[in-house]
Structure 1
Amino acid sequence: MAGSQKKISYGSLLPLLGDKQQFPSFLRTISNFTVEVVGITQLMKQFSWTWIGILASDNDIGREGSQGLLQELAKRGNCVAFLEILPAYNSKSRLRQIVEKIKAPSVKVIIVCSTQLYLIPLMEEVTMQNVSGKVWIATTQWRYSLVFYIKENWKTLNGTLGFAKYNPEIPGFQEFVHNITPSPANNDYFLTLFWETVFHCKLSNNNTVMSAGKATSFCTGTESLKKLQTSIFESYSFQEAISAYNAAYAIAHGLHSLLSCDSKDGIPENVSCAAVTNLHPWQLFTSIKTVHFMNTAGQEVYFDIHGDMPTQYVIQNFQFFPNGTSQAVNVGIFNSWAPNDEQIQTDITLILWNDGATKVPRAVCSESCVPGYRKSTRKGQPICCFDCVPCSEGKISNYSNSNDCTRCADDQWPTYAHEKCIPKTIEFLSYKEPLGASLAAVSISCAIITASILCIFIKFKDTPIIKANNRDLSYLLLFALILCFLCSLIFIGYPKTETCLLRQVAFGVIFSFSISCILAKTITVIIAFNSTKPNSPMRKWMGTKTPISIIIFCPLIQVIICVAWLSTDPPFSNANMVIKPGTIIMECHEGSLTAFDWMLAYMGFLSLLSFAIAFLARKLPATFNEAQLITFSMVVFVSVWASFIPAYLSTQGKYMVAVEVFAILASGSGLLCSIFVPKCYIILLKPEKNTKKHLTGKTGHNTMK
């Protein structure tokens, strides 16, 4: 374009002409095709269509339009299934290849950026292959194409959505068009061609005209445009009349403002007034660029910074019916000047889709990933093609089509569907649950039973069977067993720092004291029987000093171990979130595992020592001998704790605590039943055997018989 030329167009859509660096003197009363591209991509967003095919004609409109579509669709996260250029010549083989791609089941929406010339061969091939179930998006270049008026195409094109420039009715224009009649004097080539085409006659001044050897009928002059269907006017670009009308009036308003020198009409200060006899093109062009008026059709006319007139588009739905009728229904609008989120408006209820469906078709490569899943892009395919992968353990996605899953906070865990985080379940051996309540009930019951036995021993303290078995040590052992049963209650309930510090220490010291009492009883029996021998060295160990020393010294070692443990690395309350997914296990961490092992090892040493000494004393006279009962009790005690270690190490959480509580109750009950229940049996049920005469007269028999 020459630099001196100033042009105003009413029909050119090429985006390139909006570049003011290359075309500073170009205006148009229509938006460039890029605006329509934005409208099309917003329509894709409106219906959530992300997998789209594009067909483009092999010309500037098709190539520039398709490239603009690619860019805009990519910006909005959409993907293009294919982009095919329609051949400029009627190549059957090439058209078949294109139609094969159109027939792909996953491609439901196809945008066609093409002029009418390229459409007819394509639609002939599409119709011949009976392609249906597609949504065609028609740009303004083929919105009024003749392909819509070929009945063979109706099945294919039914449901098409087309963009058409909003054309308000110009007052008096329809009457003007209907009154047009061709005249040879006008020399109007377009009107002559239009007339001869729509009325199938020939306009001529001669009486005879020959065409290809055949006589051609002449127009009679009685033909009237009023008889033509509206669709014929539309197919011959009469819809562009409003743009031409606006172009003419823009020039008129610019010229009027320039000649009248009225600054209120928008003439810049640096533009001088012009006279009719001295009017420069640059002055008129500058004046036209600044016009802003309302035309007679109620449309606002002005030019933006690109020299384009902002345009409103009408979105139409082409509906064809089995009875042979059809209609184009306005189902939405697109305003190029509106904010991005308000540019497009549609009424889905008015749309009739292909095959008469009323539900919006799905146009996606992959279905949406529901909450709880994330998208995993398929290798070598567009981002719209993906697989839905469940969120991994500890992660969620709380919205559809999530690209990644979010990890829950440390104190939270995903729901089963991985769609939201919920607080983790806090687990500990509680008094409120059946297991904890049962163990607590057993513990208290055992403590009550032990206390009852202690009362029985105190009440019958002067009977021979109580005197014969060192009643003071029996009292201490029973008191220690009461504490053993009660100390198990410290293990039940919410683990606090205080209980964590106390429970293992109390357990270790009390059980060490209990075993020390048993050890003292056993050694006392051995000393008592061996001191009766003449010149026995055991006589010097007779009395209360030996058992008291054992009872004090043996637990003292355990106390020293526990004090060292608490001083260096004591137990503490810990929220374990690792062991069991979805659960916070409130536990007492033992701190120094070495110290804990030493405590158990020392208790085991005392147990084995008591067992060994009792086993050696089992052959002493049975009347006053508890060695057999103590041996059996130590077998039970050692068996329980030997079983405890693997069971303790193989469990987690509250069940680990329950195993230890059970071991405490079982071992304590074993001691109680083995040593004291037989004596209670005699005291309460066999009082005749609880006499000194009976005990001394049957030294060769077991008192339990």
Structure 2
Amino acid sequence: MTLMSYAMRREIIMNSEGWQADEAAVAAKKILCPLEKDKTKRPSQSKDVAVKRAINPKIKQLTPTFDTLAYQDLLAMVYATEEVNIKSKLLQNVSLGFLIYDTCSTEVTAIENSLALLSAQQTLSPNYVCQSESKISGTTGEFLSYVSQPIAELLGIFRFPQISHGSGAPLLSDKIRYPSFVRTIPNTYFQPYGLAQIIVHFSWTWIGILYADNEYIIQQSQQLKQELAMFGICVAFFEMLPASVPRTKVLVIADMIQKSTAKVIVLYVYEAQLSAVLEELVSRNITDRVWIGARSWMSRSFTSKQVIWKLLTGAVGFAMFSGRIPGFKEFLYNVHLNRYPDDIFIKIFWSNAFGCKWPSNKTNLNLAEQQTTDNSQMCTGNEKLTTLNPAVYPVDEFRYSYNMYNAMYSLVYALKNLRDCKTGEGSFVNGSCADSKDFRTWQFLHYVKNVHFKNSAGDEIFFDANGDIPVLWDVSNCVLNPKGYLQYIRVGYYTPYASPGKQLILNDSAIMWAKGMGKIPRSVCSESCSLGFRKATRQGEPVCCYDCVPCSEGEITNRTADSIDCLKCQDDHWTNAERDACVKKLVEFISYEEPLGSTLAVIAIILSTFPASVLWIFIKFRDTPIVKANNRGLSYILLIVLMLCFLCSLLFISPSNSISCLLRQVAFGILFSICVSSILAKTITVVIAFNATKPGNNLRRWVGTKTPVIIVLFSSAVQVCICAGWLATSPPFPENNMKYYKEKIVIECNEGSIGMFYCMLGYLGFLASVSFIVAFMARTLPDRFNEAKFITFSMLVFVSVWLSFIPAYLSTKGIYVVAVEIFAILSSTAGLLSCIFIPKCYIILLKPELNTKEGFRGKTT
């Protein structure tokens, strides 16, 4: 926890923020109030720097571990202080100094040192300050959020300004609980949303999450998990790492990662917790995972763990915005014991950076006396910082150091605004200003919250009502530099306040994935279902684990892969073979272009020539006995109707339309009724003619042309009435039938009223049955030219055809229904023509001697 003091002279008392020092540093500790009173121990000139340490007296021994990046944060504070005191003219006649208190990364120590800060004496008395000549204005720190919370809660009671450069917990934005806390690091509330957007951007749907046993991190990781679920992304494992990870836990987590099919793992942990796990993965040569890092370690972790560099190559995640600090790189290279001889950390840093050790018997800071003959093991002080590997001493990228730099300048500008305050301008209480030489911390807090300035890099720094700066994260890619060290490369930005679609900006081509991953790696539980398939979730498994099931008939997936449901095609469309597109259904009907239709048409036309030929023969031989004996007029009518019956089948061979649908069944019914009526009339005429020759028979008066005409007209009129009623009530109409075939549309005629259709057929059957019965009874009449036996056989053929037509008509579908009816028309018509007229044509053409009066009477030789 860094404390900035406002005094007329400059003094720097340095200690670590979570750092640890050696015994020499412990021996050099001083308590604030005694130090203030012992003026003889202070430097005589303002340019000198005294380096001391104020620590918790209860700490007896400290482990000499060192964090170079945290040391750079301290140096950023030193640099900012020197820059203001030496170069800047922001505070005229005022020099700045600071104190450093060690929190040891624990809440208890943080509270103790906060109380020491407030009382400025060894005996903790927060309401009493023994410091007489310099006034503590504010504090910068702490770095860790869970340590900052109790500090902010305590300092908030006294409205003591606190500016953190590393605590991003959303809870700290609560100004009721933490009224004096502000920060130069973005609030991490939006970090889970940003991480989710990165995962969505790369189309990863199967990930693992490792998170630390920390209230703030648990909340963030749960928030991330919920956000991922909203995007349909599943979590393969959600594992917590305790603060101290035992070896058994390391093995369990390593086994889990090794066995999991999730290739992407989000890390919400600290370096100390994860190092052992990563080292175990390296030993197992598991290097095909993509690590997605939260801000906690993507900004400043794993820089010295060379054994896991190979594993972390290709990691992507959020890092603190890397700002510029002009002149800071040169300052870092010029840090030396000669320049800061009282810096208790510089020797520790030097030993860690160069891998050497200082002679134990030399505590004097005179470098000339510390030379040893073993230069490879002992530190000389002549080592050059410019030769250090950037992984050990990074000087090209400043993240938290940049935030520390801005935190220091926020206090400076707040102090400047307080000193420059004029009554009515920038004042806060009744239009008055605070006394710049004797102000209260709550008065100074007002200026800290309202500070707004541009730093030396030209970046605007200000705080919102919650004490937060605008959220802007770097998206960093962890790569292995050609020089052999791990480096974070900026590949994009994330700002949640931008318009949708512009919050996350990524340069995919700039990202270097792990070795062997030439393109964006995939992390899915199940491979994407291609077009034509849908996802079927596996029972008992997350929704991201599924099987790909083909779409049902008539359904497709054509928009995106991984469809949950298939889309049903329109009624007049059907699926293609791949089931990824709906295609227009084939239209089917009997036409002259297709083989079936053209064949039936040719047969109908050819067969129609036969009754025409017979009619020509009958007309030519109209005066012969056989033509006269078989009712010449009825024969003409029958032949003409038979020819039309053949031709009426052509009405069925064409695309169905309203006219053809109305005509074809009606024409068929009426023509066949005339045909059967004519045959019935011929049969009755034969019976009447034979019985009329008997003496005293009353049938003589029915002999003549009137009787056949009446029979034909009456019988046909009944059929005409049936057809007229059919057309009047429920006429046939064209229809696109999609019931028969799923992939085809059959254009057919809907009969309208199927009952009327069967009434029409039934009446034809009735006429045929009557004709058959009459002809059957008259077949034995003693007449050489008696055609009753031929009519009997023809009716037998006719009735047989139409009786077999009904089940065939009902069992077929599509164009074959029409084909069956055409076949029935042609076959029944041909049967009538053949059975009735072929015997007569045989006699007329081949047995002319029988076609004479003598032959008619049976007197031929």
Q: TM-score, normalised by structure 1?
A: 0.89
Consecutive unaligned residues in structure 2, runs of 5 or more? 1-152, 366-373
Contact 1:144 1:235 in 2 (8 A): no
User: For 1:383, which of 537, 540, 543 is the aligned residue?
Assistant: 543
Q: Which moved more, 1:183-192 or 1:308-317?
A: 183-192
Query: SS in structure 1 opposite 2:297?
Result: coil
Provide the residue aligned with 2:797 in structure 1. Answer: 636
Contact 1:314 1:330 in 2 (8 A): no
Query: SS in structure 2 opposite 1:136?
Result: strand
User: For 2:640, which of 466, 469, 479 is the aligned residue?
Assistant: 479
CA distance in 2, matches of 1:590, 1:613: 33
CA distance in 1, matches of 2:682, 2:425: 122
Q: Does 1:332 align with 2:491?
A: yes
Provide the residue aligned with 1:18 in structure 2. Answer: 173
Contact 1:266 1:290 in 2 (8 A): no
Contact 1:429 1:654 in 2 (8 A): yes
Q: Kindly tell me: are residues 662 and 23 of structure 1, through their superposed partners in 2, closer, same or farther at Cα, counting changes over 3 Å?
A: farther
Task: Give how far 1:326 is off.
Answer: 4.7
Task: Give how far 1:644 is off.
Answer: 1.0
Alignment of 1:124-203 (within 5 A): 124-143=279-298, 147=302, 149-182=304-337, 187-199=342-354, 200-202=356-358
Q: Which amino acid aligns with 2:578?
A: A
Alignment of 1:189-338 (within 5 A): 189-199=344-354, 200-202=356-358, 206=362, 219-234=379-394, 239-261=399-421, 273-277=433-437, 279-320=439-480, 325-326=484-485, 328=487, 330=489, 332-336=491-495, 337-338=497-498
Task: Give how far 1:151 is off.
Answer: 4.4
Query: SS in structure 2 opposite 1:233?
Result: coil
Task: Give how far 1:299 is off.
Answer: 3.0
CA distance in 2, matches of 1:334, 1:467: 109
Contact 1:331 1:346 in 2 (8 A): no
Per-residue CA deviations over 1:454-495 (Å, capped at 9, x if unaligned) read 233223212222112111010111121122223222323233
Provide the residue aligned with 1:703 in structure 2. Answer: none
Provide the residue aligned with 1:647 in structure 2. Answer: 808
Q: Kindly tell me: are residues 266 and 39 of structure 1, through their superposed partners in 2, closer, same or farther at Cα, counting changes over 3 Å?
A: farther
Contact 1:331 1:348 in 2 (8 A): no
Contact 2:303 2:391 in 1 (8 A): no
Contact 1:257 1:265 in 2 (8 A): no
Provide the residue aligned with 1:360 in structure 2. Answer: 520
Contact 2:425 2:431 in 1 (8 A): no
Query: SS in structure 1 opposite 2:207?
Result: strand
Provide the residue aligned with 1:659 in structure 2. Answer: 820
User: For 2:594, which of 412, 430, 433 is the aligned residue?
Assistant: 433
Provide the residue aligned with 1:345 in structure 2. Answer: 505
Q: Kindly tell me: are residues 104 and 550 of structure 1, through their superposed partners in 2, closer, same or farther at Cα, counting changes over 3 Å?
A: same
Query: SS in structure 2 opposite 1:358?
Result: coil
CA distance in 2, matches of 1:591, 1:237: 86
CA distance in 1, matches of 2:807, 2:739: 21
Percent identity between the two aligned chains? 47
Per-residue CA deviations over 1:212-247 (Å, capped at 9, x if unaligned) read xxx998643323433322111349996421111111
Provide the residue aligned with 2:96 in structure 1. Answer: none
CA distance in 1, matches of 2:465, 2:567: 45
Per-residue CA deviations over 1:162-197 (Å, capped at 9, x if unaligned) read 433232331110111111124798654444432343
Q: TM-score, normalised by structure 2?
A: 0.74
Contact 2:207 2:264 in 1 (8 A): yes
Q: Kindly tell me: are residues 26 and 643 of structure 1, through their superposed partners in 2, closer, same or farther at Cα, counting changes over 3 Å?
A: same
Provide the residue aligned with 1:529 in structure 2. Answer: 690
Contact 1:329 1:350 in 2 (8 A): no
Per-residue CA deviations over 1:410-464 (Å, capped at 9, x if unaligned) read 3333333333333333333333333223323333333343233323322321222
CA distance in 1, matches of 2:425, 2:817: 91
CA distance in 1, matches of 2:693, 2:591: 55
Q: Kindly tell me: are residues 476 and 24 of structure 1, through their superposed partners in 2, closer, same or farther at Cα, counting changes over 3 Å?
A: farther
Task: Give how far 1:43 is off.
Answer: 1.6
Task: Give how far 1:558 is off.
Answer: 2.2
Q: Kindly tell me: are residues 290 and 389 of structure 1, through their superposed partners in 2, closer, same or farther at Cα, counting changes over 3 Å?
A: farther
Q: Kindly tell me: are residues 643 and 423 of structure 1, through their superposed partners in 2, closer, same or farther at Cα, counting changes over 3 Å?
A: same
CA distance in 1, matches of 2:310, 2:859: 117
Q: Does 1:442 align with 2:603?
A: yes
Query: SS in structure 1 opposite 2:793?
Result: helix
CA distance in 2, matches of 1:162, 1:572: 69
Contact 2:303 2:486 in 1 (8 A): no
Contact 1:140 1:164 in 2 (8 A): yes
Q: Kindly tell me: are residues 17 and 607 of structure 1, through their superposed partners in 2, closer, same or farther at Cα, counting changes over 3 Å?
A: same
Provide the residue aligned with 1:37 in structure 2. Answer: 192
Provide the residue aligned with 2:83 in structure 1. Answer: none
CA distance in 1, matches of 2:351, 2:528: 55
Q: Kindly tell me: are residues 506 and 282 of structure 1, through their superposed partners in 2, closer, same or farther at Cα, counting changes over 3 Å?
A: farther
Query: SS in structure 1 opposite 2:296?
Result: coil
Provide the residue aligned with 1:695 in structure 2. Answer: 856
Q: Kindly tell me: are residues 152 and 179 of structure 1, through their superposed partners in 2, closer, same or farther at Cα, counting changes over 3 Å?
A: closer
Q: Kindly tell me: are residues 652 and 42 of structure 1, through their superposed partners in 2, closer, same or farther at Cα, counting changes over 3 Å?
A: same
User: For 2:665, which of 491, 504, 509 is the aligned residue?
Assistant: 504
Q: Does 1:559 align with 2:714?
A: no
CA distance in 1, matches of 2:444, 2:364: 50
Q: Does 1:466 align with 2:627?
A: yes
Q: Which moved more, 1:142-151 or 1:645-654?
A: 142-151
User: For 1:569, which of 720, 730, 753 is the aligned residue?
Assistant: 730
CA distance in 1, matches of 2:439, 2:843: 139
What is the aligned residue count?
694
Contact 2:491 2:510 in 1 (8 A): no
Contact 1:351 1:358 in 2 (8 A): no
CA distance in 1, matches of 2:635, 2:428: 118
CA distance in 1, matches of 2:515, 2:664: 77
CA distance in 2, matches of 1:263, 1:383: 65
Provide the residue aligned with 2:275 in structure 1. Answer: 120
CA distance in 2, matches of 1:151, 1:218: 23
Per-residue CA deviations over 1:298-336 (Å, capped at 9, x if unaligned) read 433333454322354444444459x99355363611231
CA distance in 1, matches of 2:427, 2:771: 117
Q: Which amino acid aligns with 2:793?
A: F
